Amino acid sequence: MPLKINPIKLIEHGVVAEIRQDVVHVTGLTNCMNGQLVNIGVSAQGVIVGFDPDYVLVLVVREGAPIKPGDAVITTIDQFRVPVGERFIGRRLNALAEPADNGGPIREDGANPIFGAAPGVLERVPLAQVLETGTKIIDMTLPIGMGQRMLIIGDRTTGKTTVGVDAIMNQKGKDVVCIYCCIGKAEAALAKVTESFDKGRVWDYGMIVAATASDPMGQQYLAPYVACSLGEYFMYTKGRDVLVVFDDFTKHAWAYRQISLLLERAPGRDAYPGDIFYIHSQLVERAGKLNAARGGGSMTHLPIVETLQGDVAGYIPSNIISMTDGQVYMNSLLFGEGFKPAIDMGLSVSRIGSKVQWKAMKKLSGMLKLEYVRYKELEKLTRIKAGVSGEVERRLNRGKVLEEVLKQDANEPVAMEDEVMILYALERGLLDKADPPQVRGILAEFIRRVRTRHPTLPAELSQKKELTEPIKEALNNELAGLSHTAV
Ligand SMILES: Nc1ncnc2c1ncn2[C@@H]1O[C@H](COP(=O)(O)OP(=O)(O)OP(=O)(O)O)[C@@H](O)[C@H]1O
Ligand SMILES: [Mg+2]
């Protein structure tokens, strides 16, 4: 029989010296390391976040019984790990990956370090596959690749969460594991997302990791790391595709600032600690697409950042813009005008470009952005002048029609096949004579016709990703049929 040796576990004992809100000073720990989990007193837990010549700084992440000076602190020399596994899908979790719903305990498949390392350069491959977000403007003009980090940025209530949640809802049946990570938002905002999860039956393939504004500061700080760890299980161990929405990084920066001030770290710009850039880049670096040898999985990050009066040059926004592969800019003026989703195409960019797009989409959407931006300029110019010439009138009307094509309701993601069909119809002149208010109806009728009369066409389009002759012919037939009946 092989000899069985228990691995040696080094256990250390320390003592609580001082308590400052969420931060505890502990003396007597000589062999600990940053990011390590410690047990404090009867039932509290904390993470080591810093060192001083005389004591160790511990951030409380679980408030059990009240902590008093003199309480014992026990550590085991190991990284802070959270349980991960298949059965976390369908659950609402707190920032320590523990169930926060009524579903009972979760049997884990393993444990991942929360401060996991990012995939190395040699383990990565260029992004090649598109993540279908179901938001028309994004899929058409700002394609997101699987493994990309795309920032969603904008003022308060401009529809940021909606874009993120729609992207999650649109992954239904696409074999992508989705994680919505709530950081420091109100319970009510989280309840709305949960509702969308119910409505879209997202629980079959998604989970929520939440630290709301009422949770301890330590949990708000940890939530995004834990969301990454849970995602990494699927990316590394299962070779699957993962999508994580972080809502939002502004609150995460606030939580970290507050913690740092308690730690008496020197405040830097806007009172944020000097390593705030590192904190966020360390998180988004964990996204990526792995090579075949590593299983071929991917993790896409959609961090959300809230701006103040559209100020993208603020410290936190400009930091995060510089570490992501593009941004979706939500404009409060557009939102006010009723253009929803209020994505400002002039200020949004995807640095992955159209490489990952479907061939059909790339071809059809080429001029879209330019045409729209030109229309907005023309609209601005003609706002002051009354009475415009016939040609300008025609161009304005076409712009308005285009606007109608791009609008969509919240929580109703559009399938990529439908988006391609819509653009094809637009190119073939289906909407040339339409009034803007009719656009929605005409397009819905067109899609309905195609889907009922050619039930296999959408799947074929989705598989081929380009407009083959038979597909074009079928679409042309329906377009012709429609222009006889409707317009
Ligand atoms: N495309 C849309 N069509 C209609 N209504 C929308 C659309 N997108 C968002 N809304 C509505 O606008 C409101 C704000 O949306 P949302 O909560 O997504 O914004 P937010 O930017 O995340 O807000 P917050 O700053 O509070 O987090 C919600 O009531 C939502 O239902
Ligand atoms: Mg929101």
Whole-number pLDDT of residue 485: 56
Residue 65 has pLDDT above 90, yes or no: no
Tokens at 469, concatenated: 């002759």
Catalytic residue among 269, 351, 374, 394: 351
How far is the centre of ligand 2, averaged over its atoms, from the C-alpha of 154 (Å)? 10
Ligand 1 pocket at CB < 6 A: 154, 156-162, 189, 306, 340-341, 408-410
Assign 383 a pLDDT band (cuts: 50, 70, 90).
Answer: confident
CA atoms within 13 A on the CB side of 139: 30
Whole-number pLDDT of residue 170: 97
User: E strands, 204-355, where?
Assistant: 206-211, 241-247, 288-289, 298-306, 326-330, 349-350
Average pLDDT over residues 323-334: 95
Average pLDDT over residues 62-90: 88
In three-state secondary structure terms, 442 is helix
> What atom of ligand 1 comes closest to residue 156's alpha carbon?
25
Q: Could you read off the pLDDT of 13-23 as tens digits, one per residue?
A: 999 999 988 89
Q: Is 405 exposed, middle or buried (0-12, 13-18, 19+ CB in 10 A)?
A: buried
351 in catalytic set: yes
In 3D, which of 118, 138, 121 has the Cα closest to residue 356? 138
Nearest 10 degrees: Cα torsion 206, 212, 216, 217: 100
Structural domains of the chain ordered from first start:
11-78 (2.40.30.20), 83-357 (3.40.50.300), 364-485 (1.20.150.20)
Q: Are strands 23-27 and 11-20 parallel, antiparallel or unpaired?
A: antiparallel
Whole-number pLDDT of residue 285: 95
Contact between 228 and 82 (Cβ < 8 Å): no
**Which of 155, 161, 248, 404 most suits a substitution to test ligand 1, by most atoms within 8 Å of the C-beta?**
161
Whole-number pLDDT of residue 5: 65
Whole-number pLDDT of residue 385: 65
DSSP assignment letter at 274: T
In three-state secondary structure terms, 283 is helix
**122 contact partners, CB below 8 Å, separation of at least 6:** 291
More confident residue, 382 or 479: 479
How far is the centre of ligand 2, averaged over its atoms, from the C-alpha of 194 (Å)? 13
Using a pLDDT cut of 70, give the percent of the chain over it: 96
Assign 370 a pLDDT band (cuts: 50, 70, 90).
Answer: confident
Helices (H) and strands (E) in the chain, counts: 15, 19
Task: Read off the pTM.
Answer: 0.92
Q: Could you read off the pLDDT of 115-171 as tens digits, one per residue?
A: 888 999 999 999 999 999 999 999 999 999 999 999 999 999 999 999 999 999 999
Assign 453 a pLDDT band (cuts: 50, 70, 90).
Answer: very high
Average pLDDT over residues 187-216: 95
In 3D, which of 342, 148, 165, 139 has the Cα closest to residue 247? 165
Q: What φ, ψ does residue 484 adopt, rounded to 5°?
A: -75, -40
Whole-number pLDDT of residue 252: 95
Round to whole Å and give the CA distance between 157 and 304: 12
Contact between 44 and 23 (Cβ < 8 Å): no
Q: What φ, ψ does residue 47 adopt, rounded to 5°?
A: -120, 140
Round to whole Å and give the CA distance between 56 and 34: 10
Residue 487 has pLDDT above 60, yes or no: no
Average pLDDT over residues 351-366: 89
| Mean pLDDT value across the chain | 91
In 3D, which of 214, 219, 156 has the Cα closest to residue 185? 214
> What atom of ligand 1 comes closest to residue 164's alpha carbon?
18
Q: What φ, ψ does residue 46 adopt, rounded to 5°?
A: -150, 170
In 3D, which of 29, 67, 20 has the Cα closest to residue 48? 29
Using a pLDDT cut of 90, give the percent of the chain over it: 69
Nearest CA to ligand 1 atom 6: 410
Round to whole Å and give the CA distance between 400 and 29: 67
Assign 8 a pLDDT band (cuts: 50, 70, 90).
Answer: low
Contact between 244 and 227 (Cβ < 8 Å): yes
Whole-number pLDDT of residue 52: 86
**Which of 135, 156, 158, 162 most suits a substitution to test ligand 1, by most atoms within 8 Å of the C-beta?**
162
Q: In 10 A of CB 459, how many CB atoms?
A: 10
DSSP assignment letter at 9: -
**Which of 157, 340, 440 most suits a substitution to test ligand 1, by most atoms within 8 Å of the C-beta?**
157
Amino acid identity of residue 25, one-letter, is H
Assign 1 a pLDDT band (cuts: 50, 70, 90).
Answer: low
Contact between 171 and 159 (Cβ < 8 Å): no
Round to whole Å and give the CA distance between 73 and 31: 13
How far is the centre of ligand 2, averaged over its atoms, from the C-alpha of 65 (Å)? 33
Assign 263 a pLDDT band (cuts: 50, 70, 90).
Answer: confident
How far is the centre of ligand 2, averaged over its atoms, from the C-alpha of 197 (Å)? 15
Q: How far is the CA of 308 from the CAs of 267, 313, 480, in angstroms? A: 21, 10, 49
Whole-number pLDDT of residue 15: 94
Round to whole Å and give the CA distance between 200 and 88: 18
Contact between 63 and 44 (Cβ < 8 Å): yes
Given its phi and psi angles, is residue 264 left (phi above 0), alpha (psi -120 to 50 degrees) or beta?
A: left
Whole-number pLDDT of residue 327: 95
Closest-approaching ligand to the CA atom of 158: 1
Assign 110 a pLDDT band (cuts: 50, 70, 90).
Answer: very high
User: E strands, 21-55, where?
Assistant: 23-27, 36-40, 44-51
Closest-approaching ligand to the CA atom of 410: 1
Contact between 181 and 303 (Cβ < 8 Å): no
> What atom of ligand 1 comes closest to residue 157's alpha carbon?
23
Please name the residue that has the structure tokens 């972080």.
Answer: 246
Residue 486 has pLDDT above 60, yes or no: no
Residue 484 has pLDDT above 70, yes or no: no
Whole-number pLDDT of residue 175: 94
